[in-house]
A and B are shown apart, each in its own frame.
Chain A
Amino acid sequence: MHAFANPARFLKIAKPATTWLLLVGLALTAIGLLAGLTLTPPDYLQGETVRILYIHVPSAWLGMAGWMGIAAASVSQLVWRHPLAAVAGRATAPAGATFAAICLITGSIWGRPTWGTWWEWDGRLTSMLVLFFLYLGYIALASAERERGGEGRITAIYGLVGAINLPIIHYSVLWWRTLHQGESIGINGSSIDKSILWPLPLTVIGFTCLFGAAVLMRIRAELAETKVEARMRRMSR
């Protein structure tokens, strides 16, 4: 990790990686979504709405993975004082918030024809909504701390404390058996039929590559802004 402590070295890898992640992500996502819309059969119980799975599952994964990334960046900042950790945390938050929002909205759209309601204060839905608000809080706190010239330690602590919500989201379907169905995909396999399941890995990997590209773009933007600010400070002396 410390090999990337030097921003110049990091950018040497980040620039081509952004392009590759974007291209691979776009291709896999497009193939997965088109296959999910046209090539898979409707579910015997859910009908056509099962196709929402191909966007809902990747967005739920990325909403949670984004906060895992923030927590890892927070540890890296607080323990090892990695110079890029705060930047990485700040860059991950908007992408994570976007995918958490997509997860909530698509879940709500799926819930209307399937459950007969747009929203229910179910354990999984509520904990995911809390994650979305945690992202908004993180973005506001990070922006305020950066404006005041802070090192981002308070934001990093907030990022670590917020990680407590991740196991709550994961186990919510076991702890509170209300409306949201239990785990359909686990380490030992899936309860979803293979004829419906096969485009899902494509959209999961595709959206993950797109997420990575968006995070790298934000890191590059922040590094360039920092460079400009540092040079302006030197010139004003």
Chain B
Amino acid sequence: MSQWPFVIGAYAVAVLLTAALFAWAYVSMRRAEAAADELIRK
């Protein structure tokens, strides 16, 4: 049994979940800070 598919699978899971966490954290931060800036300008 080749072990590489397990290694690649584990790396893919780690990269995808970390990227998803960052995308969500970044988008929510930018959205919230933009809304706060907009309100201050008004």
Interface residues of A (CB under 8 A from B): 33, 37, 47-49, 51-52, 55-56, 59, 94-95, 98, 101-102, 105-106, 109-110, 112-113, 207, 210, 213-214, 217-218, 220-222, 224-225, 227-228, 231-232
Are A33 and B4 interface neighbours, CB within 8 A?
Answer: no
A109 to B17, CA, bound (A): 15
Are B6 and A52 interface neighbours, CB within 8 A?
Answer: yes
Are A51 and B7 interface neighbours, CB within 8 A?
Answer: yes
A33 to B15, CA, bound (A): 10
Q: Identify 25 residue pairs between A and B in the complex whose beta-carbon atoms are under 8 Å apart, listed by A's number.
A: A33-B11, A37-B7, A49-B7, A52-B11, A94-B24, A95-B21, A98-B18, A98-B20, A98-B21, A106-B10, A109-B9, A109-B10, A113-B6, A207-B18, A214-B21, A217-B26, A220-B32, A220-B33, A221-B31, A224-B36, A225-B36, A228-B32, A228-B35, A228-B39, A232-B39
The residue on B at minimum CB distance from A47 is B3
Interface residues of B (CB under 8 A from A): 1, 3-4, 6-7, 9-11, 13-14, 17-18, 20-22, 24-26, 28-29, 31-33, 35-36, 39-40
Are A224 and B33 interface neighbours, CB within 8 A?
Answer: yes
Question: Chain B contact residues: over half helix, strand or loop, or mixed?
Answer: helix
Question: Chain A contact residues: over half helix, strand or loop, or mixed?
Answer: helix
A95 to B17, CA, bound (A): 10
A221 to B36, CA, bound (A): 10
**Given contacts A221-B33, A224-B29, A225-B32, is CB(A49)–CB(B18) below 8 Å?**
no
- Which residues on A sit within 8 Å (CB–CB) of B29? 217-218, 220-221, 224
Are A106 and B13 interface neighbours, CB within 8 A?
Answer: yes
* CB contacts between A and B, total, < 8 Å: 92
- Which residues on B sit within 8 Å (CB–CB) of A227? 36, 39
Min C-beta distance of A33 to chain B, whole Å: 7
- Which residues on B sit within 8 Å (CB–CB) of A222? 32
**Given contacts A113-B1, A224-B36, is CB(A52)–CB(B7) below 8 Å?**
yes
A101 to B17, CA, bound (A): 9
Interface centre among A95, A106, A213 (most CB of B within 10 A): A106
A110 to B7, CA, bound (A): 8
**Extra contacts besides A105-B17, A214-B22 (11): CB < 8 Å:** A48-B4, A52-B11, A55-B14, A102-B13, A102-B17, A106-B13, A217-B28, A218-B28, A220-B29, A222-B32, A224-B35
Are A214 and B14 interface neighbours, CB within 8 A?
Answer: no
Are A49 and B21 interface neighbours, CB within 8 A?
Answer: no
